[in-house]
Chain A
Amino acid sequence: MKLTRRILMGAAAGGFLLSGTAAMAQTELTFWSWRQEDRAFYQDIIKKFQAKEPGITVKFETYAPENYQTILSTALAAGRGPDVIQVRAYGNLETIATPGYLLALDQQNVPELANFPEPALAAETLRPDGKVYAVPFAMQAQLVVYNKKIFKDNNLNPPKTWDEMMALAQALKAKNINPFSNGTATAWQNETIVGGLLSSMLGKEFEADIVSGKANFTDPRFVNALAKLKDISQYFAPNFTGVDYPSSQQLFVAGRAAMFAGGSYEVANFKNQNPTLDLGVFPAPVLKAGDQALIATYYDGGYAVNAKTEKKDAALKFVRFLATPEYGTAFTNTLKNLSPIKGIKIEDPITQDVAKLAENSMSYLMLVRFRYQEPSGSVLLQSNVQKMLAGQQTPEQAAAEINKGIATYYKPFQK
């Protein structure tokens, strides 16, 4: 009797110890994302991380992008939520960082922040306290994607100046080829088109003047650029005011248009749908030869740590891993999206081109600077450019409307 009891107690104690060590060894982190399509990549990354940190497991969970922000902020407001969080940037980061849901990151707890350029960190910085709340993951650019085969068949080269661009579009149209597949029916496409086609004409100086309040959106540089856009819109997809985002993508993917003004993120998507496409990218054409050609860049989002997590050390370890050049290289080469981490090795030639073009860039203006308050610069730009391209207002009117909306809250314009 005594013996059996002892055996039982020993077994129980042994079991307790075993389960105890197991629990100590395995810290499970949850990691939320809206990138269901990148699941395989993240599973692979988690494996690589575990090879370095055998004591930590990471559970990757995704939610639909359109509901992600809502689900996430609901969970965080209830004091729950994941340990590691994929978050957006700029205004959308602020809605989550302002209530104190995210752990502030600095060179102390994440030394790898030194691997990032300043604008990338700025995208994940909360303006009121100046602290960084996430490790940035991708840089995007608005530029022109072109079909190399169509260009070659017609003896065309990527245009440098706006006049060359107009002549090229005219030449393509004369041969019954759609110069651009772009359409304006989906509101946000108007903003990407502006970024892709007008950045060089606006210029870095214009951005600086907007920030300082030296110029506003009624500035001739902005109005003239809009007028040029109105000009070139005759070469967009047929009936472009009724062509939505998916239709314009399909037109380009099917090889029925030579150019697509839009995001660098389109390239991987286009190639997935039609691997035979031979694609290239070029920056927005300049007004006169000798001006600096620019693309419009911004950062997509970052990886943050839940301020309330009980597994802070493990979560920080994981986030630090997501800030290494090793991770940046894998991210860039697998997802064909440019990681902002310095010192990565890029395999894909188009991504290399984008990285090179990014050396001369201005901000994707409305997202980076004016998406913090309503009416956001994006809402104003999208609807007013849409209206202008539909022929229902002049470039001057569009610029005045945009300026009026932003001036309701933007101090430098109120002087």
Chain B
Amino acid sequence: MTDFWPAVIKETPGLVPPITLLKEAGTDLGDKTNHMLRGQVETNASGGDYDFEHIFYIVAPALDNYRYEILRVLHGITLYPARVIRRPAPNVFAPAVIEDAPDAAQLRKLLQAAFNDPTVQKAVGALLAQSKAA
């Protein structure tokens, strides 16, 4: 039988997929809120200009698992560059903020900035208060 593929197939060394960073952020949120809130990542094969789309939600288990979308990360088959799309402004008519990360290190920074945005913090604070009251 012909060996069409190499005998050993290896994953690309040192490559941190965007979904890993998003799940890490979700776990961090859970740890820091005593698991009153958690992150959830929904992945779609996007079918658009990017092969994959990850949607990051904050989930409030005490509020019947209410979900609030924070941002999206899109990327192709090679994982990077990855595109972050978010709507952070309190102005409801503000356009989405679109930023590109050439690698995992830069994506990590973009995600940190996004999750520390005052409007996201406001939503997190309100969800936490409501969860405690529930």
Partners in one complex: no
Chain B residues close to A by CB (< 8 Å): none
A interface, CB within 8 angstroms of B:
none
